[in-house]
Structure 1
Amino acid sequence: GLARIEDAGIEVTHGVCEAEAQGLNRGFFLTILEKRPLVALKLAMTLDGRIASRTGSSRWITGAAARRHGHLLRARHDAILVGRGTVVADDPDLRCRLPGLEDRSPVRVVLSRGAPIPEGARILEHLDLAPVLVMTPESVAGGEPQEDGWLHPRAVLEALALRGVTRLLVEGGATTAAQFLRAGLVDRLYLYRAPALIGGDGLAAVAPLGVVDVACDMLRFRQVATRALGSDRLEVYEPAGNA
């Protein structure tokens, strides 16, 4: 097509907004090249990296502006994923609830080792606007469970790509976040950081990653954006290897 245009004597300018176009279509490219969607991990935490108190209290760590931005993030992704433990502990809705964008709510994905979603859970509401997909080792073709009984994140992503998902937002909890980080399958990290402290007895945002040697094992990221959201701060990171 390009050759025919040039042969017709039409001047063609190449590479216009190439970086922006690649960024907008990165999820699509990943489904073609790696058979998986782009993965964004979202965490709302205190300055010391806690997402809840020792009793599980977490509403609300961040303010209204940060929470609104989090809903906008949901609208920009095809699917949103949490572990079943988050459904039980927090009873989240997981839809985009910004006025006018309700119909942009992503498909809601729940990872489970086999146990069903509790009856009456909020995630089972509004299925016409945002369907729910429960993924277990038995429900995913070739999805052999790991030693801990969970599906490997790679199997989850490949199954979602086959369903047309190009952009996935992982919202927790700590165990699910750690699984995707350990597998090296987080392409973008959104940290909503509140100017507050909970302390060491609070729930960490990420479960153990198995880091033994800081020089060799620590996962490193580079900051690509930051902005204020009320009294909170949004920090966006990508793996340092992508620099």
Structure 2
Amino acid sequence: MEHLTDEAAMDLAVAAALEGVRGANPLVGAVLTAPDGQLLAVGRHRGAGTLHAEADALAAWAALRETDPQAAAVDPAACTLHVTLEPCDHTGRTGPCTGAVRAAGIGRLVYAVADPTGTSGGGAQTLRAAGLDVSGPTGHAGSLALTDRWRRARATGRPFVTAHLAQSLDGCAAAADGTSQWITSPASRAHAHAVRGRVDAIVVGTGTVLADDPRLTARDDDGSLASVQPVPVVMGHRRIPAGAALRGHPALAAGEEPLHLRSHDPAEVLAAIAAHPGPWPHGRGGCEHLLIEGGPTVLAAWIAADLVDELHVYTAPTFLGAGLPAVSGLAVDTLAHAVRWTPDSAEGGPVRPLGPDTWTHLRPATAAGKE
């Protein structure tokens, strides 16, 4: 059996957390060890409404104890639960993690990063008051990098921002005549629709509305409308045509106008979305996850403002020559001013095939590993 130090256990918890997807909920992993450091269970958070990482690890251990006499003999009061993020102390879609830890009789907790989300945090103090030996925040580097952009979004009261980019091998989003459907394969589009299905809103510019007339819906693999639909948001000053496809978006009530924010400033748009009452599709208090789908100048503006927390890039094995660039307008005049990104291992990344295409998962390099 594997015997782990606290540091090694936290490394394993980070690896487990990275099996999840980024978004409104943080990536969290948990590892339970015996008094001698023997690995007992690993858990992770799989998304909104599912068990949190702590409860997932404890459930795995409970199942193991039913079939393994050696595991059943381990005293939980002598065990350590290692968690990448401070356990929550509130009831949402699931019960508080502090309650699950106490109910399991765990005697020691080590957590890497403090939870910044107000009523969702505070779990460490509750567990200390209940008599547990609690260590943290330890500042574990991998755990800090795991949630750096999510914590930044929470600290500034804004949604977590994902961006989407479909392009050719030579970086074009459309051919020279403007045709763009479809550069990427059905597999890439299915993945993109899955991402749409987990966000609260999608932002496009008026230029995209006029040129492509997008529906901005989320669809299942069979092409039918997904049960949860993001709210369409348009930024820019030009009018949305009366016959625009997104006017019939399933997230809008009959006769309801799409949310049109007459600004080219991403910070202004983000503030307006954050203040908007909704309703948002995932039933939270506000918009907590936003998807930017372009076009090229809109995407460049959000990247330049350092407001993109993760980037999905779908690259088709195609050259378009004198096509239209996928990103246009970044003020980069020398290599030293390049906007750099780093591979993101979450969601099976950072690079994997989607049909004939390549999917690359990235996050801002300037934020990686920083507090």
Is the pair's TM-score, using the shorter chain for normalization, greater than 0.5? yes
The reply on whether 1:229 has 2:229 as its aligned counterpart is no
Aligned-pair distance for 1:26? 5.8
Number of matched pairs:
225
TM-score by length of 1: 0.82
Contact 2:162 2:290 in 1 (8 A): yes
1:108 corresponds in structure 2 to: 232
Aligned-pair distance for 1:176? 0.4
Aligned-pair distance for 1:13? 8.7
1:14-53 to 2 correspondences below 5 Å = 19=143, 23=147, 27=150, 29-53=151-175
* In 2: Cα distance, 1:13 partner to 1:129 partner: 48
1:146-225 to 2 correspondences below 5 Å = 150=264, 152-163=265-276, 164-199=286-321, 201-215=322-336, 217-224=337-344, 225=350
TM-score by length of 2: 0.55
CA 1:6–1:45: 2 relative to 1, 3 Å: same
* In 2: Cα distance, 1:3 partner to 1:214 partner: 47
The reply on whether 1:118 has 2:241 as its aligned counterpart is yes
Aligned-pair distance for 1:127? 4.2
CA offsets 1:150-206 (integer angstroms, 9 cap, x no match):
3x111111111123212111001011011112212211111000011001x200001
Contact 2:342 2:364 in 1 (8 A): yes
Give the secondary structure class of the aligned counterpart of 2:317: coil
* In 1: Cα distance, 2:313 partner to 2:232 partner: 21
Aligned-pair distance for 1:32? 3.8
The answer for unaligned runs of 5 or more in structure 1 is 138-149
Aligned-pair distance for 1:210? 1.7
1:23-102 to 2 correspondences below 5 Å = 23=147, 27=150, 29-98=151-220, 102=226
| Deviates further, 52-61 or 180-189 | 180-189
Instruction: Select the structure with the greater relative contact order (CA < 8 A; seq sep ≥ 6).
Output: 1
Aligned-pair distance for 1:104? 1.6
* In 2: Cα distance, 1:19 partner to 1:77 partner: 24
* In 1: Cα distance, 2:194 partner to 2:135 partner: 34
Aligned-pair distance for 1:208? 2.4
The answer for unaligned runs of 5 or more in structure 2 is 1-122, 277-285, 345-349
* In 2: Cα distance, 1:168 partner to 1:8 partner: 38
CA 1:9–1:68: 2 relative to 1, 3 Å: same
CA RMSD of aligned residues (A): 2.8
The amino acid across from 1:219 in the alignment is V
Contact 1:103 1:129 in 2 (8 A): no
Aligned-pair distance for 1:101? 6.2
